[in-house]
């Protein structure tokens, strides 16, 4: 049975009348965890605010629906970057989830934590208590691993189900075989001792349905009388003075009003919106705020800086084989019964998350750790950037795991966000991406794929020299939607939050989302954000 639920109705007058102990802005990966943990105490009044809508659409709950969400006017923020001067002045699409669950309600559901060294490096930069040994218990606390993976690395009593995909496409397994011919060994658990190798990705699903952070951590506790969940409520600014937050000003159902706070405000609105809210509230780099016509109340130069993202390159192949995902007359035999297969057995076309397999590899430029990640797609990835193309194919996305180029976000005079990834500012990123694309091409040229008689469309046979590859990257590179770092944690002058996630200079303002990462993790970012939510809740509860 598909997940259906209507959130309790909350009227604006009720929101204005109450004072809440904790207000959490953003019902996404981290915010949903925090709402669960803090509301366990029945004497604590918690308010969880989401700018987007409820999540009771089949497009969200059925795995294959993910591809329809990225450009949705209802469920995605649909941000775009500023023109990227080293990517032929293209504006890069940056979708983020605009519904309960946030981006965990629209992502590909891949459960990856990153490398242990990522967190040890955070600790080495002054983030005490964030080394691998310290964060691993919080990963395990959230997890309900149902595939009998090593208990030294996995939890089995948490709320977040981690499972195998229900019905991977046969080509996903061919990808693993092809990579093995290049000495890229199969890895059946990317979250254990080593991430290196290729395999079928584990996913955050329960009974073949998406399990977003909201669905895992908040939906089961909606009966708690001390928890208020508010949707379609957009925060405009934070009211604060002398290091103390008093309330937030919101817009909802055509009305503007304040929501008052007794104890703490926690921003979990993501790497774009959390720093934007700070800047709109007069917290950020003084000169930039004044240029945007905003009075600077707290000069915090690191707000919006340190933006990091996984730059991504595509290898896409055309084939006539209807064994791949795609739309054609020959594919009708698998498309037409798909709703029935999914409803009855959780099998078939609708179970796919489109990036069922992948892995981590070393290019010739790597040192001791993998420097690229693959996402294999058993369907045709459009060479024109479309969500759907008629016909069939398969593809590999390749991203640079530890990019050196650093961007920023700004607020303009219209109080709107400007996102500048500053892609390829460091030549290192270009070189690693090209080597990763070449390795992906070699995988798809192995004999196991010959039966499909595929024709490489991108980069294509005309791309031969390094200059050709550079031109290709500038014209086609994109992202895998992992923005982080814009309210970085640390102890230096550009840090926005301290290691307990409190905003510098404030007593009761915390940030808990991808924006606090001092460096981008080497993998997908949803699981790390859930861990950050666990850490934030623990810090808050420890001080009570």
Q: Which residues are catalytic?
A: 482
Cα(373)–Cα(199) distance, integer angstroms: 12
Residues 6+ apart with CB under 8 A from 287: none
What's the gap between Cα 416 and its chain centre? 22
How far is the CA of 104 from the CAs of 61, 158, 389, 530, in angstroms?
Answer: 11, 17, 25, 10
Closest CA to 63 of 347, 359, 323: 347
Three-state DSSP at 32 gives: helix
Sign of CA dihedral 452, 456, 461, 463: negative
What sections of 311-394 are H helices per DSSP? 332-335, 338-345
Element (H, E) at 257: strand 255-267
The half-sphere exposure of 288 on its side-chain side, counting CA atoms within 13 A, is: 23
Q: What letter would DSSP give residue 94? A: E
How far is the CA of 378 from the CAs of 168, 171, 187, 272, 354, in angstroms?
Answer: 9, 6, 19, 31, 7
What's the gap between Cα 130 and its chain centre? 20
235 among annotated binding-site residues: yes
Cα(289)–Cα(450) distance, integer angstroms: 57
The half-sphere exposure of 152 on its side-chain side, counting CA atoms within 13 A, is: 3
Sign of CA dihedral 114, 119, 125, 126: positive
Cα(127)–Cα(122) distance, integer angstroms: 6
Dihedral, CA atoms, 365, 271, 92, 476, nearest 10 degrees? 20
CB 505 within 8 A of CB 299: no
Looking at the DSSP bridge assignments, the partners of residue 84 are 90
Q: Are strands 408-411 and 417-420 parallel, antiparallel or unpaired?
A: antiparallel
What sections of 346-444 are H helices per DSSP? 427-444
Placement of tokens 């046979």 in the chain? 461
Q: Give me the helix-helix angle, 526-542 and 29-38, nearest 10°.
A: 30
Residues 6+ apart with CB under 8 A from 282: 289, 294, 295, 296, 297, 298
Placement of tokens 């990966």 in the chain? 29
CB 297 within 8 A of CB 289: no
CB 504 within 8 A of CB 516: no
Sign of CA dihedral 37, 40, 45, 47: positive
What are the binding residues for FAD? 235
């Amino acid at each position: 049975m598909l997940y259906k639920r209507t959130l309790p109705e909350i009227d604006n007058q009720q929101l204005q009348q109450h004072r809440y102990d904790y207000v959490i802005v953003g019902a996404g990966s981290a915010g949903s965890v925090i709402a669960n943990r803090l509301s366990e105490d029945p004497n604590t009044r918690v308010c969880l605010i989401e700018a987007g809508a409820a999540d009771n659409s089949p497009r969200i709950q059925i795995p294959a629906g993910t591809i329809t969400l990225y450009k949705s006017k209802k469920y995605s923020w649909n941000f775009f970057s500023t023109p990227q001067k080293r990517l032929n002045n293209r504006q890069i699409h940056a979708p983020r989830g605009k519904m309960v669950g946030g981006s965990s309600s629209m992502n590909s559901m891949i459960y990856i934590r990153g490398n242990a060294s990522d967190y040890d490096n955070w600790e080495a930069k002054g983030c005490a208590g964030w080394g691998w040994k310290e964060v691993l218990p919080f990963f395990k606390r959230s997890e309900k691993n149902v595939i009998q993976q090593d208990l030294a690395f996995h939890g089995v009593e948490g709320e977040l189900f981690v499972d195998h995909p229900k019905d991977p496409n046969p080509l996903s397994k061919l990808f693993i075989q092809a990579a093995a011919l290049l000495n890229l060994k199969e890895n059946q658990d990317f979250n254990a001792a080593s991430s290196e190798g290729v395999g079928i990705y584990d996913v955050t699903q329960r009974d073949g349905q998406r399990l977003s952070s909201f669905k895992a951590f908040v939906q089961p506790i909606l009966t708690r009388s001390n928890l208020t969940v508010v949707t379609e409520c957009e925060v405009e600014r934070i009211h604060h003075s002398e290091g103390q937050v008093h309330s937030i000003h919101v817009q909802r159902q055509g009305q503007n009003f304040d929501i008052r706070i007794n104890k703490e405000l926690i921003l979990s609105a993501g790497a774009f919106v959390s720093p934007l809210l700070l800047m709109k509230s007069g917290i950020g780099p003084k000169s930039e705020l004044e240029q945007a016509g905003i009075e600077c109340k707290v000069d915090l130069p690191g707000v919006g800086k340190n933006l990091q993202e996984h730059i991504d390159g595509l290898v896409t192949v055309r084939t006539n084989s209807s064994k791949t995902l795609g739309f054609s007359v020959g594919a009708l035999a698998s498309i037409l019964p798909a709703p029935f297969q999914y409803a009855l057995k959780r099998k078939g076309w609708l179970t796919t998350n489109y990036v069922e397999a992948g892995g981590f590899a070393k290019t010739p430029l790597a040192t001791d750790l993998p420097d690229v990640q693959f996402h294999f797609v058993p369907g045709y990835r459009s060479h024109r950037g479309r969500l759907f193309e008629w016909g069939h194919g398969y593809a590999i996305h390749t991203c640079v795991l530890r990019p050196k180029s650093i961007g920023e976000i700004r607020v303009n005079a219209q109080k709107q966000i400007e996102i500048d990834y500053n892609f390829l500012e460091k030549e290192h990123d270009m070189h690693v991406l090209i080597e990763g694309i070449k390795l992906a091409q070699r995988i798809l040229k192995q004999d196991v794929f010959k039966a499909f008689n595929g024709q490489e469309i991108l980069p294509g046979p005309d791309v031969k020299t390094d200059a050709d590859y550079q031109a290709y990257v500038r014209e086609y590179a994109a992202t895998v939607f992992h923005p982080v770092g814009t309210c970085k944690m640390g102890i230096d002058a550009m840090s926005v939050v301290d290691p307990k996630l409190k905003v510098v200079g404030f007593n009761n303002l915390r940030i808990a989302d991808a924006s606090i990462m001092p460096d981008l993790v080497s993998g997908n970012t949803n699981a790390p954000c859930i861990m950050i939510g666990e850490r934030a809740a623990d810090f808050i509860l420890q001080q009570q």
